[in-house]
Chain A
């Protein structure tokens, strides 16, 4: 069983210290990805998707505080809160693709130089780094890989840059790829191509994929399972099909209702209200202030996960009676900073 898991995130809580106080962003994230499995992490802008990925990659900003949790990659703990500080090991065989391909390529080095570094340090190959880099570029379906190898990022188009980023991720020889809204900054016409490429590569090379997106549609097309995130918590997870056909959580329902109009700026038309202030998040369920079904209990207590159907978990008291508690987030032993 353990061997099956490529990635496990347990009870991850991350805060940011800022001028005005402490932003309590991630509030107990749990997720698991099996080998070769493709999951989608879906939610509005600002719900903590990117923070989750950065925590997995071990590249949280300097003002981030890990107040609890553990990240296991390929059976090895890479991030953990121990007595008083965070212990971080560099995660091997994990690669990340960022949202903005322009910002994720160093403007003053050639594509080749950058990729060879990745080959050297992430894939631990010192010989034939060049061939490995060119090879990865070919895998990402870049025409004329030899030439691109000597190009600077600004000489490529946005779509090509994102392919280069995918190639760079492949060059790290990972078995997990984390992709943070990889198509948001691209022209609509190439968004689809890039997603298909990503999906095909993951299938061919049996890579696990965590695809972060604000679009349920994109997630369904690409992923086997979907985790729906709201304000730093996972509210529901199930197979892509189940989420679409049978959403349980009021937030997921709202998201689906808003789907035709769903754009980058969130779901203002779908659900009343906005993401809560992370300085002072709601005590109980974080969605309670916007939820039409919210009861007093929702405001005071954090809901656990309830298995609404086989493999379909919802974090909402509405389903408390259905099948009992699958996992409990609120009473974990290693909490609070």
Chain B
């Protein structure tokens, strides 16, 4: 960490700008991180402007054109058409919307809950109520998350909202465990002990002294998880427990298309490819963020 250009007398604002600039430098050093950022940005752009960027926006709903079924990929239909004669590219792009909403909503619910539980459990580690909370977390972790999500989704009506609820219930313990581990490891550090001596409120210590140290790993996990949450949503709809037709969902499209393999391969292969691309994008971005937050120099 040699640095000869550190100016000491810079205002807080420019120090912040400087830090952002350095972070960006570390992030942009890797071409793959930049690619990930670009891909994620494109996915978001496509999802928002789906009605504008897709060739046949009307195909996103309960559209039927029996004259045009099962067309292989062509210039008019780059991903081909499905059994209803709908343009697969259009439906894939519209499906990005549900996928992103799923990822964002689930993480927006799961991260605060999991973080709070982990902080609480970690800070009060050894106390009986912390033990109970963490044992409950262990119980959730004892069921593979996709299996738990499938079971919960099965007991609810198959809608996008309900699959989000199902994924939330199976996802929060992972954040609880991550934050718990990190909190236990810093709980006895001098900086925590010092503010404890000042008599600061314990909840304030947890959130304003301990939590800021965990933001990096949490942010990294969130970025990576966007892809995995979207995959879990796609898995639910693949099995038939997610959003119901005619709303396009990538998982549903893949499983519908699987019936027509191998002759009409494009019906399932392109939506599957879109799932891979979404996961890949968020993984590249997440790796870039991790690199940015952990690399020295």
Report A-B touching, CB under 8 Å. Answer: yes
Interface residues of A (CB under 8 A from B): 19-20, 277
Enumerate chain A residues within 8 angstroms of B297, measured Cβ to Cβ.
19-20
Chain B residues 269-297 with CB under 8 Å of chain A are: 297
Distance in Å: Cβ of A96 to nearest Cβ of chain B: 28
Enumerate chain B residues within 8 angstroms of A277, measured Cβ to Cβ.
2
Which residue of chain A has the shortest Cβ distance to B29 in the bound complex?
A19
A19 and B297 CA atoms in complex are apart in Å by 10
Enumerate chain B residues within 8 angstroms of A19, measured Cβ to Cβ.
297
Which residue of chain B has the shortest Cβ distance to A19 in the bound complex?
B297
Enumerate chain A residues within 8 angstroms of B2, measured Cβ to Cβ.
277
Enumerate chain B residues within 8 angstroms of A20, measured Cβ to Cβ.
297
Chain B residues 1-46 with CB under 8 Å of chain A are: 2
A277 and B4 CA atoms in complex are apart in Å by 11
Task: Give 3 A-B contacts (CB < 8 Å), ordered by A residue.
Answer: A19-B297, A20-B297, A277-B2
A78 and B297 CA atoms in complex are apart in Å by 35
Which residue of chain B has the shortest Cβ distance to A279 in the bound complex?
B2
A20 and B29 CA atoms in complex are apart in Å by 13
A100 and B104 CA atoms in complex are apart in Å by 47
Distance in Å: Cβ of A265 to nearest Cβ of chain B: 15
The interface bits of chain B over 237-268 (1 if a CB of A lies within 8 angstroms of the residue's CB, else 0) are 00000000000000000000000000000000
A19 and B2 CA atoms in complex are apart in Å by 14
Distance in Å: Cβ of B105 to nearest Cβ of chain A: 40
Distance in Å: Cβ of A21 to nearest Cβ of chain B: 13
A20 and B297 CA atoms in complex are apart in Å by 10
A20 and B3 CA atoms in complex are apart in Å by 13
Which residue of chain B has the shortest Cβ distance to A18 in the bound complex?
B297
A211 and B2 CA atoms in complex are apart in Å by 29
A19 and B26 CA atoms in complex are apart in Å by 13
Distance in Å: Cβ of A281 to nearest Cβ of chain B: 14
Which residue of chain A has the shortest Cβ distance to B2 in the bound complex?
A277
Distance in Å: Cβ of B131 to nearest Cβ of chain A: 28
Distance in Å: Cβ of A268 to nearest Cβ of chain B: 15
The interface bits of chain B over 102-125 (1 if a CB of A lies within 8 angstroms of the residue's CB, else 0) are 000000000000000000000000
A19 and B30 CA atoms in complex are apart in Å by 13
A125 and B234 CA atoms in complex are apart in Å by 62
The 3 closest A-B pairs by CB, nearest first: A19-B297, A277-B2, A20-B297
A20 and B2 CA atoms in complex are apart in Å by 12
Distance in Å: Cβ of A298 to nearest Cβ of chain B: 23
Which residue of chain A has the shortest Cβ distance to B4 in the bound complex?
A277
Which residue of chain B has the shortest Cβ distance to A277 in the bound complex?
B2
Distance in Å: Cβ of B295 to nearest Cβ of chain A: 10
A277 and B297 CA atoms in complex are apart in Å by 15
A98 and B2 CA atoms in complex are apart in Å by 26
A20 and B296 CA atoms in complex are apart in Å by 13
A29 and B83 CA atoms in complex are apart in Å by 77
A126 and B297 CA atoms in complex are apart in Å by 47
Distance in Å: Cβ of B243 to nearest Cβ of chain A: 47
